[in-house]
Amino acid sequence: MTEPLNIGSHDLPVTDELAAFMRTGWADTRRTDVTALPIAPWAAKRRAALASRFPGERLVIPAGTLKVRSNDADYRFRPHSAYAYLTGAGEPDDVLVIEPSGESVLYLRPRSPRGEGQEFYRDRRYGEFWAGRRPDLAEAAELYQVECAHIRDLDLGRDLDRPARVLRGVDPSVDARAPRGGGDAELETFLSEMRLVKDEWELGELQHAVDATARGFEDVVRALPQALAHPRGERYLEGVFGLRARLEGNAIGYESIVASGAHACVLHWIRNDGRLDGNDLLLLDAGVESDTLYTADVTRTFPLSGRFTPAQRQAYELVYEAQSAAIATLRPGARFRDFHLAAMRVISDGLRDWGLLKGSTDELMETGLYRRYTLCSSGHMLGLDVHDCARSRSEVYLDGVLEEGHVLTVEPGLYFQPDDLTLPEELRGMGIRIEDDLTVTADGAVLMSAALPRHPDEIESWMSGLA
């Protein structure tokens, strides 16, 4: 069967003579130097664990599809995290199938032969001359260390007496062809929960992402003089960090938050179109995503002048103390929510001591009045997704306990809205968040982002040293 070509606006008609000419005269460029990806043995263990959880069942995990950005231009493709976790592969439209026997087959779109058809030079989505070279089946099998087959051979309608479990909502064509068997939600949940505890290889990838992120933050501080002079200083700094992310990784792990002044009171400020004022604080929340798609997630808040004002330091120190108290709770067996509660008790005490709130700490924790000034939770799991393992059951995540190998962020903050009349004027329009990435160990937690300073004195010295 000849598949239709994805023809775009740049394509021109092809004569029979040109089509014949394009089929001949090509050198043999099959690769003989392909070696297995470092992730391959780890992915094999994960597939085996998944198969043992659903013995005797067929499991279907799609990579996902290209998404249109505008007209015939697509966004850069990123595979679904569960698919990447189980294969290490990253091409669109591929599908991993784990058979009832436990054996895995990776169905993919291999490189199209030069002597057959017109895809390689006419197909704007998949053609090698348009989108780059894909591995052939032999190369893919060596790279991923799994049996590989052509995607056109994928038959999801067979063995209807034993329907497959499918990770749905990822590839519409897979959803349409695979009969529903009722167990899809359980598969999706397990695919999320099996990523909660990171293996040794994942920890290394995450540390690489965090280290690159630290270098990106240094780049931003060095670029402050130029950014302060630019009418879109926030966007200037966004670009500086984005360059580091592309040079040392795949991309940014999420849209960078570059928020100066009152913009820092908007939790997900990603417009990043503001001018910088040297009297303000800058809140930078950004992370490099590694080539293997593991992301860091770090936030620092620092004075654009290089020195905190008394009011800025007062607010910053409260957030610093809250984060330090939260980090101190991290250990195997501690409840996941403990670190947030520890941070909020410190925040509540501070707000009361400032005269902004009244009542005992216990009363403030019960009424939640402190949340006017700190709106959200203080952290989340981290990994292939910035908010990792989000489909996990509450009892094993949000209401669960920490285990060795969990990687999470701790990120309390204070967000003093510019129009909040309950605040003294010197605090209005000030947003502060400190966020670090940590790995839970046998006897506590390791601060993966320790290369970046946290204490206000260290922040000032760091900025001075980079000037």
For every residue of 33-84, DSSP letters joined together read -----TTHHHHHHHHHHHHHHSTT--EEEE-----EEETTEEPPP---HHHH
What per-residue string of b and e applies to 7-25 under the rule 16 or more CB within 10 Å gives b? eeeebeeeeeeeeeebeee
pLDDT for position 2: 58
Contact 449, 213 (CB under 8 A): yes
Indicate the length of the chain as a whole number: 467
Q: What is the pLDDT of residues 206-262, one digit of tens each?
A: 999 999 999 999 999 999 999 999 999 999 999 999 999 999 999 999 999 999 999
Q: What is the pLDDT of residues 349-367, one digit of tens each?
A: 999 999 999 999 999 999 9
- CA triple 119-122-125, angle to 5 deg: 75
Contact 237, 219 (CB under 8 A): no
| Alpha-carbon torsion, ordered 413, 419, 425, 429, to 10 deg | 40
pLDDT for position 159: 67
Residue 271 DSSP class: -
What per-residue string of b and e applies to 38-70 under the rule 16 or more CB within 10 Å gives b? ebbebbbebbeebbeebeebbbbbbbbbeeeee
First vs last C-alpha separation in the chain:
63
Q: HSE on the CB side for 365, CA within 13 Å?
A: 12
What is the rounded distance in angstroms from the CA atom of residue 210 to the CA atom of residue 217? 11
pLDDT for position 116: 86
Instruction: List 285's β-bridge partners, or say none.
Output: 257, 299
Q: What is the pLDDT of residues 156-195, one digit of tens each?
A: 877 666 778 999 999 999 999 998 878 999 999 999 999 9
User: pTM for the full model?
Assistant: 0.95
- Closest by alpha carbon to 120, among 32, 34, 29? 29
Q: What is the pLDDT along the chain (467 residues), one digit of tens a residue?
A: 457 788 877 778 999 999 999 999 999 998 989 999 999 999 999 999 999 999 999 999 999 999 999 998 999 999 999 999 999 999 999 999 999 999 999 999 999 888 889 999 999 999 999 999 999 999 999 999 999 999 999 998 776 667 789 999 999 999 999 988 789 999 999 999 999 999 999 999 999 999 999 999 999 999 999 999 999 999 999 999 999 999 999 999 999 999 999 999 999 999 999 999 999 999 999 999 999 999 999 999 999 999 999 999 999 999 999 999 999 999 999 999 999 999 999 999 999 999 999 999 999 999 999 999 998 999 999 999 999 999 999 999 999 999 999 999 999 999 999 999 999 999 999 999 999 999 999 999 999 999 999 999 999 999 999 98
